[in-house]
Amino acid sequence: MVREEEEDDEDEDGEEEEEEEDYVDEERGVLLFVFSLISNAVSGFVRNLRCLRGAEMLNVPSQSFPAVGSQQRVAPSGQSRNKVALKPGHSLMDWIRLTKSGRDLTGLKGRLIDVTEEELKKHNTRNDCWTCIRGMVYNVSAYMDFHPGGEEELMRAAGIDGTDLFDQVHRWVNYESMLKECLVGRMVVKASTVLKGQQTKKESSRVNGLALPPPPVLSEPAAAPIPAKDHRPRFDWFQTDETVTIVVYTKRKIPRSGCSVVDLHGNVLRVETLLGSWSYLLHWSLSHEVKETVATQCVHSVGKIQVCLRKAENTRWERVGQSLEGHDSFIRSKDRGLFYRDCVLVSKKEVTHDTQLFCFQLPPGTHMHIPMGRHVYLKASIQGSDIVKPYTPVDEVLRPPKNSNTTSTNIYFMIKVYPDGVFTPYLDNLDIGASVSISSPDGSFTVRSLRDVTHLYLLAAGTGFTPMARLLHLALQDLPTIRKTKLMFFNRQERDILWHSELEQLCSEEERCQIEYVLSEPAGSWTGRRGRIEAAMLQGFLERPGDSKCLVCVCGPTGFTELAVQLVKQQGFSEEEIHAFQG
């Protein structure tokens, strides 16, 4: 969910592919692989540094962090925000200005030192707080009052290696840029110590000119079972006088809308196929020049994806090209890292008084399918710092035509603009034709969870509505097994309701759809529900007929989401029947 001033309503909407059928039985082997990986706790140590591209810490809740009593946890029901209130003059922009002021934030007058574990432990107080992230030690004392999560959360990493805690909450943050003026030096790593992360990019091998610690001798854990080779996707290629076609065989049925992200940039081709929580990547430096545009075709019933390139010259190719990093690999998407491409702003349209529908155009060589329930990250350089925020794409309208092309060259985002924020005012002030970097899709939702569901319940607050928009469309148009779809939509005032007239029209035309609006600051003339989410509201809303299979989806600010999940569980719904969208 969007963590910044946008956090208020900007819940990381998430969205995903309209997976038309379940994976074939072979996918079970893949799922077993996932569970095995989790049980071995290996995945947390194989993070790609490319993922860390944000400049404001994202709050992704987990069971162990933030702490149960933390201010970042569930806010009281009468409270609309759950970020720690920062003192005046302690915003993200104020921190950026402080780091550029020339002030000594390390206490070492510009010296970089080697830090032992014993030395690190000594610096564990509020006014003398050092922590280690991926082998580099930072003095974060000056950052205490600027941390959106508050001093308590930052102190959890005081005097220790905070890499694991950091990864749980701030996976996408570009900490190297944000804390570069706080760098104390390099951690002295003992030969028997296991690395917390692995470097995969040459440009990430140095921080402020200081080389990262050399890799120690690793004590290898028992290898997790690898899915049988037959379960892995594979590829082939063929050519004509004018074209080269790459074919990906996923060996499972795939969404009718597709599940691939294709990027042709110059002579480099990158084809990523998203299969649930897995990613299959093809990556080449092509043997010969090709024309700028690329065509894709998906045969969903047999799980085949075709990527067609047009040759610049009528030359016979002996091979596709030189394999690049990650080529022909099949790994969990979360371990892949994000890939960005520059997209051009082509239009802005007002949705409500403070929310805009932004339309970005993909580069000519890019085709991207955004799976249902997934989000992407928008990245921009603001006053010299990379700011990264997650948003869920929406369709141009609530109910796109059946024959609409989901491989559109445009991506739409419904974003609330916060005047005192950093990122959303930047977006709002962008000129048509300006560029923003947009990542590949990310998120955990899969349409497999809708299999055999008869009753779909959606709880959304503010722009947490965005993942629900495509879910509504999918459920009502493509999933006849869903007998009832109900949305409870929370906002402050009636004017804040997104796509209000479109939702009303949908309800009038679809007997399977029911929408209830709840306002926390209604006008006197409002006749609908009032207040904030509470148990009494959900008792009549969440029905469970005897022969039903239910799914409850929740999206909103972190406090809303956590409270809503608690209340839904109190109504007797299990964790398997609840999905909370989070970015």
| Predicted local distance difference test score (pLDDT) of residue 230 | 64
User: For 207-232, how does the pLDDT look when each residue is reduced to its tens digit (9 = 90+)?
Assistant: 554 555 554 444 333 444 444 446 89
Rounded to an integer, the average pLDDT of 29-52 is: 39
| Predicted local distance difference test score (pLDDT) of residue 12 | 37
Q: List the structure tokens of 257.
A: 């809308």
Poorest-pLDDT segment among 78-92, 139-153, 234-248: 78-92
Q: Given 3.30.70.100, 3.10.20.30, 3.40.50.80, 3.90.650.10, which CATH number is that of 447-580?
A: 3.40.50.80
Check whether 483 has a pLDDT greater than 70: yes
| Predicted local distance difference test score (pLDDT) of residue 17 | 35
Query: Percent of the chain at pLDDT above 70?
Result: 76
| Predicted local distance difference test score (pLDDT) of residue 40 | 41
Check whether 37 has a pLDDT greater than 50: no
Two domains, one topology: 234-332 and 340-439: no
Residue 561 CA to residue 463 CA, distance in Å, equals 13
Q: What order do you get walking across the sheet with 393-394 strand by strand?
A: 385-391, 376-382, 435-439, 340-352, 355-361, 410-416, 393-394
| Predicted local distance difference test score (pLDDT) of residue 569 | 96
Could you identify the residue written with the tokens 């869920």?
Answer: 392
User: For 350-400, how does the pLDDT look when each residue is reduced to its tens digit (9 = 90+)?
Assistant: 999 999 999 999 999 999 988 889 999 999 999 888 999 999 999 999 998
Kindly list the domain boundaries of the chain, sorted by start residue: 92-187, 234-332, 340-439, 447-580
Check whether 173 has a pLDDT greater than 60: yes
More confident residue, 49 or 408: 408
Residue 413 CA to residue 356 CA, distance in Å, equals 8
Hey, what CATH class is 340-439 in?
mainly beta
Check whether 197 has a pLDDT greater than 50: no
Confidence bin at 121 (pLDDT 50/70/90): very high
Question: Which of the 8 DSSP states describes residue 173?
Answer: B
Check whether 576 has a pLDDT greater than 50: yes
Tell me which amino acid residue 101 is.
S
CA torsion, ordered 402, 406, 407, 410, to nearest 10 deg: 110
Check whether 430 has a pLDDT greater than 90: yes
| Predicted local distance difference test score (pLDDT) of residue 404 | 57
Rounded to an integer, the average pLDDT of 123-144 is: 91
Distances (CA, A) of 77 to 392, 456, 490, 559, 564: 26, 24, 13, 9, 10
Check whether 14 has a pLDDT greater than 60: no
- Among residues 381, 451, 372, 442, the alpha carbon closest in space to that of 406 is found at 372
- Among residues 504, 256, 323, the alpha carbon closest in space to that of 399 is found at 504
Please answer whether residues 338 and 53 qualify as being in contact, where contact means their C-beta atoms are separated by less than 8 angstroms. Answer: yes
| Predicted local distance difference test score (pLDDT) of residue 444 | 87
Confidence bin at 492 (pLDDT 50/70/90): very high
Alpha carbon distance, N-terminus to C-terminus of the chain: 4
CATH number listed for the domain at residues 234-332: 2.60.40.790
What integer best gives the mean pLDDT of the chain?
80
| Predicted local distance difference test score (pLDDT) of residue 213 | 53
| Predicted local distance difference test score (pLDDT) of residue 54 | 36
| Predicted local distance difference test score (pLDDT) of residue 27 | 40
Q: State the fold for domain 92-187.
A: Flavocytochrome B2; Chain A, domain 1 (3.10.120)
Rounded to an integer, the average pLDDT of 313-327 is: 95
| Predicted local distance difference test score (pLDDT) of residue 90 | 86
Residue 366 CA to residue 384 CA, distance in Å, equals 27
Q: What order do you get walking across the sheet with 304-311 strand by strand?
A: 234-239, 243-249, 304-311, 290-299
Residue 210 CA to residue 200 CA, distance in Å, equals 17
User: For 436-448, how does the pLDDT look when each residue is reduced to its tens digit (9 = 90+)?
Assistant: 999 999 988 988 8
